[in-house]
């Protein structure tokens, strides 16, 4: 960390969660205040203040992001891609089960490979359509696996 | 305004308050932030608003809460924002300055009137406790 430069991880955290219209302004405000505090107190105190602001801002920013139209569009795209992925996986599973008996080792190996392949394709497609949709798609896949 | 309600401003404000949908009523943080912006006449950015609130009320609110509330107020048309020049001390990032709009001033008046109406006559009770 350079002298009088705000904590990089805290900056990254904020950049990830703050909605685009206010990202620049909010980070700029924090960096400006950090510089003032680092000069008037110490860089360590200023860093501690910066981290506290970043951590306390995350819940408000996540709520704000979830309410935004962009977020709803990303969620919709993720759901759509997930449905297509599930259909593809179902079709692939059906084809494999016709070719290989389910109790065979080949089937046991092929089933997770199909799952990983469809997830990867789905992730790429979601990212191509909208970058933010990938996070929601990953969440949906994780919830499905957990259930 | 006076053409419609020539007699009483409070009656007008009461009428407006009744006409406001539930979502249009100010929340406590919205109220405080609008008041801070009204005090910092001519446009202020989020950190200045946060500092003003901290100095006046002692509440140490996060910058995220300030911006989330400002975003909500802007969506309601109570405040407007414009982008300032980027400066080196902000890491080359531009300021976003906010100012209260006429609808925001009206909402503040309504809130003020609502609080005044609700607290009327309570002072004697509080003193007796």
Q: What is the DSSP string of B72-106?
A: HHHHTTSEEEEEEEEEGGGTTEEEEEEEE-HHHHH
Quick one: pLDDT band at residue A109, thresholds 50, 70, 90? Answer: confident
A contacts of B94 (beta carbons < 8 Å): 24-25, 28
Does A1 reside within a domain?
A: no
Residues A20 and A48 in one domain: yes
Closest partner residue to B67 among A26, A31, A32, by Cβ? Answer: A26
Q: What pLDDT shows up at residue B1?
A: 43
CB distance B64–A57 less than 8 Å? yes
* Per-domain residue ranges of chain B: 25-85+93-128
Residues A34 and A60 in one domain: yes
- The fraction of chain A above a pLDDT of 70, given in percent, is 98
Q: How many residues does chain B have?
A: 129
Domain B25-85+93-128, what fold? Arc Repressor Mutant, subunit A (1.10.10)
Give the domain extent around A136: 69-146
Residues A63 and A92 in one domain: no
Does A84 reside within a domain?
A: yes
Does A44 reside within a domain?
A: yes
Does A135 reside within a domain?
A: yes
Residues A52 and A110 in one domain: no
Q: What are B19-64's pLDDT values in tens digits?
A: 555 546 789 999 999 999 999 987 899 999 999 999 999 999 999 9
Beta partners for B82?
A: B97
Query: Does the pLDDT value for residue A25 go beyond 90?
Result: yes
| Residue-averaged pLDDT of chain A | 86
């Amino acid at each position: 960390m350079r002298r009088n430069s705000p904590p990089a991880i805290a900056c990254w955290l904020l950049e990830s969660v703050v909605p685009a219209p206010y990202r620049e302004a909010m980070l700029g405000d924090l960096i400006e205040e950090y510089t003032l505090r680092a000069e008037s107190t110490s860089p360590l105190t200023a860093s501690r203040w910066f981290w506290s602001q970043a951590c306390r801002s995350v819940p408000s920013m996540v709520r704000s992001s979830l309410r935004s139209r962009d977020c709803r569009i990303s969620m919709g795209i993720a759901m759509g891609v997930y449905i297509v992925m599930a259909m593809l996986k179902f079709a692939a599973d059906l084809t494999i089960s016709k070719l290989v008996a389910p109790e065979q080792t080949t089937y046991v190996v092929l089933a997770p490979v199909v799952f990983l392949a469809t997830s990867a394709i789905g992730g790429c497609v979601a990212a191509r359509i909208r970058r933010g949709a990938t996070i929601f798609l990953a969440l949906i896949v994780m919830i499905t696996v957990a259930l | 305004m006076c053409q419609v309600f020539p007699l009483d401003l409070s009656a007008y404000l009461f009428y407006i308050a009744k006409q406001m949908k539930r979502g249009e009523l100010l929340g406590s943080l919205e109220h405080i932030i609008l008041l801070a912006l009204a005090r910092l006449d001519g446009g202020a950015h989020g950190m200045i608003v946060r500092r003003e609130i901290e100095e006046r009320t002692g509440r140490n609110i996060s910058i995220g809460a300030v911006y989330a509330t400002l975003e909500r107020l802007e969506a309601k048309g109570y405040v407007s924002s414009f982008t300032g020049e980027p400066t080196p001390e902000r890491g080359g990032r531009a300021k976003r300055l906010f100012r209260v709009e006429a609808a925001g001033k009206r909402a503040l008046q309504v809130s003020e009137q609502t609080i005044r109406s609700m607290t009327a006559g309570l002072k004697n009770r509080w003193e007796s406790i």
